Structure 1
Amino acid sequence: MFSKKVVTVGNVKIGGDNPIVIQSMTNTDTLDFESTLRQIIRLSNAGAEIVRVSVRTLDDIPSFKKLCENSNVPLVADIHFDYKVAIEAIKAGASKVRINPGNIGAEWKVKEVAKVAKEYGIPIRVGANSGSIKKKYENLVPRYRALAESALEEVRILEKIGFDDIVISIKSTDAKENFLANKCLAEKVQYPIHIGITEAGIYEDAVILSSAGLGALLLNYIGDTIRISIAGDPEKEVGVARKLLTLLGFKKGPRVIACPTCARTEINVEELALKVKEWTKDIDKEINIAVMGCVVNGPGEAKHADIGIAGTKTGGAIFVNGEIVESVSHEKLEETFKRYIEKMNPAN
């Protein structure tokens, strides 16, 4: 059900058969060019393919223009209330603008923004979240329909004035409501959909809630671009998004499989698995690596892994594609296993 329409944001394509795009947002003061640019670069290095920046007033425009000129990823201008700020952000180099037509004001103001966006060839993102349901839909039940209809009304405003270079986003703080609203939306439009759980909380809560809510959407093929919302350092958002997409099979990368451990465990599974994750953090191809505590779990339960190790009383048994290739002592376990992993990724 991934969206059929393709929208271009800078050099990034969203929708269609294109890979799911990871986004994040700066939390530095936009007026502070140096700090904001450093954060954009860090987000890009962490894996963000698009970065959103708050452009609050016309005072932010000069700094935002410099950011667009120096950023190595497309920047999205996040605009509220003032249509003039949206227009100037587009002229300053924004690769996309995020507006809420409802709070921009009169339809002619929205029309002016769309006119300039069309002239510069950039898309507009619209939508709704659980805190911005339109009054006319407040009593609509179930509530996920109110969310969906609020977002669709934003789309209709743009379509009415002949603008269809659109990305839509619906976000709720409730994972179930978020899923149902986005499912409803995906059944009615072909525009790319940006997904996230809004105000998901601090790290652990945000990771659990977003993984459940967004994982459900992705496994139903809904969502063309994603942001994991975490209070604090936005680099963490990017890392979690990358890992979620990798573990669900939507992004290439290593997956480290590890057994939950029990009394049969012969090696320190957690410690070795953490080291394997560090060894493989820069690998960008699909590879399943299993770290199993005993021969009961590996290679039997992990025979689908590309490579793995199972603890034994004397050390460990290394297996490749389900077949044991070498048994090693505890002293040589780590270096030998690491060497086998490196052989599977010779580019590194």
Structure 2
Amino acid sequence: MLRRQTKVIPIGNIKIGGSYPVAIQSMTNTKTEDVGATVNQILALEKAGCEIIRCAVPTMEAAKALSEIKKQIHIPLVADIHFDYRLAIAAIENGADKIRINPGNIGGRDRVKMVVDKAKEYQVPIRVGVNSGSLEKDLVEKYSGVTAEGLVESALDKVHMIEELGYNNLVVSIKASDVLMCVKAHELLAPQCAYPLHVGITEAGTILSGNVKSSIGLGIILYQGIGNTIRVSLTGDPLEEIKSAKLILRTLGLRKGGIEVVSCPTCGRTRIDLIGLANQVEDMVQDIPLDDVKVAVMGCVVNGPGEAKEADIGIAGGIGEGLLIKKGQIIKKLKEDELLPALREELLHWNKD
């Protein structure tokens, strides 16, 4: 698909926009003031594939903690600021690679100018963020409610304000929990915005509902070539956000690499714990550094080998036993509890074959 070209913006040690790949982002749910817990979570997210991490900065203590956090992580650190312009300034001074603000809730133009001046001094990008839940009252009245048009107007007003203050090192995000409103807003904004767009469905929900809503919304938006960074917002462990984001990008063809797990639905022929086995395989492959390998998990020894022939490697279960299949050929018959270790062993030695 043809990606829309935008201004290139450096964030720490990576770049977004232009022809750079869509970057995966997440947000910590620890207290930022707790440096140890926050660093541990970020390191786990890094290992899972997170490329940009955002931390809430609700206090001055949190802003100052960024300095120590930065020393112990390896990906760009974004400070999430609301209401207090002084926290944005402190976050920049303590090493934030980017700040996220909503100029509409941070105070008057003079306070926004102080933040912009500090960002300009340190050459730190500003992400201008607008959410449907905090749309200005005058725009709600103008459009008779919260609408895609109102979100776009709000975002562009704030972008123009910062541009008038002499700064254009910007990233823009407009988020809504209403999927189709969010899609429409991005379709309206993209032709009018030269800056990289951070895309996500806000307050998407739990692992189930959040994944469904995010997959639909992000899928439609990204398929149109819109978006430079993404976050799958889930009420749960942030590691789940990374897994989902990677799968969305790989499914759309926007990212290669990693191990893809496919599994059949259960049916009356299934004589093995296929659901448990498929979940174990999906978890097991997360730390195996292989690119573009497809693993099939099938529940039937009758059709399993045939169904798995398009995969690079797979397992097909029977009654207390199963088959290990490689490149369409059955290579081993194993007991049920031996399938997972055998599959892992094959994958660990994949490039040595």
TM over 0.5: yes
SS in 2 for 1:281: helix
SS in structure 2 opposite 1:163?
coil
Give the aligned partner of residue 226 of structure 1: 230
Q: Deviations over 1:91-136 (max 9, x none)?
A: 2111001111122233233233222212212110003111122333
**1:75: which partner in 2?**
77
User: In the alignment, what sits opposite 1:92?
Assistant: 94
SS in 1 for 2:287: coil
- DSSP-derived class of the 1:118 partner: helix
Q: Give the AA of the match of 2:263.
A: A
Matched-pair contact (CA < 8 Å) for 1:283–1:345: no
1:242 aligned onto 2:241: no
Q: Is the 8 A contact 2:294 2:311 kept in 1?
A: yes
What's the Cα RMSD here?
A: 3.0
CA offset digits 1:180-220 (Å, max 9, x no partner): 11222222223111111111223322222222222322333
- Unpaired runs of 5+ in structure 2? none
1:185 is matched with which residue?
189
User: Is the Cα–Cα contact under 8 Å of residues 64 and 91 in structure 2 kept in the other structure?
Assistant: no
Secondary structure of 1:65 counterpart: helix
Shift of 1:156: 1.4
- Gapped regions of structure 1 (runs ≥ 5): none
Structure 2 partner of 1:129:
131
1:53 aligns to 2:59 (yes or no): no
> In the alignment, what sits opposite 1:276?
281
| Deviation for aligned residue 1:267 | 5.0
* Corresponding residue of 2:206: 202
Letter in structure 2 aligned against 1:217: I
Kindly provide the amino acid, as one letter, of the partner of residue 242 in structure 2.
V
Q: State the alpha-carbon separation in 2 of the partners of residues 162 and 113 from structure 1.
A: 12
String of CA shifts for 1:128-158, please: whole Å, max 9, x gaps: 1111223332232781111122112221112
Aligned pair count? Answer: 346
Q: 1:36 aligns with which of 29, 35, 38?
A: 38
Partner of 2:258: 253
Output the CA distance in 2 between the equivalents of 1:218 and 1:299: 35
Q: Counterparts of 1:166 and 1:246 in 2: how far apart (Å)?
A: 27
- C-alpha separation in 2, matches of 1:197 and 1:213: 7
Aligned residue identity for 1:216: I
On the 8 A contact 1:261/1:269 being kept in 2, the answer is yes
Distance 1:309 1:191, change over 3 A: same
Alignment equivalent of 2:311, drawn from 296, 305, 310: 305
**Counterpart residue number, 2:154:** 150
Tell me if structure 2 keeps the 8 A contact 1:259–1:297.
no
* Greater alpha carbon shift after TM alignment, 142-151 vs 323-332: 323-332
Percent identity of paired positions between Structure 1 and Structure 2: 45
Q: Choose which of 104, 107, 118 in structure 2 pairs with 1:105.
A: 107
**Following the alignment from structure 1 to structure 2, what is the Cα–Cα distance between the partners of residues 286 and 187?**
34
1:77 offset after TM fit, Å? 1.4
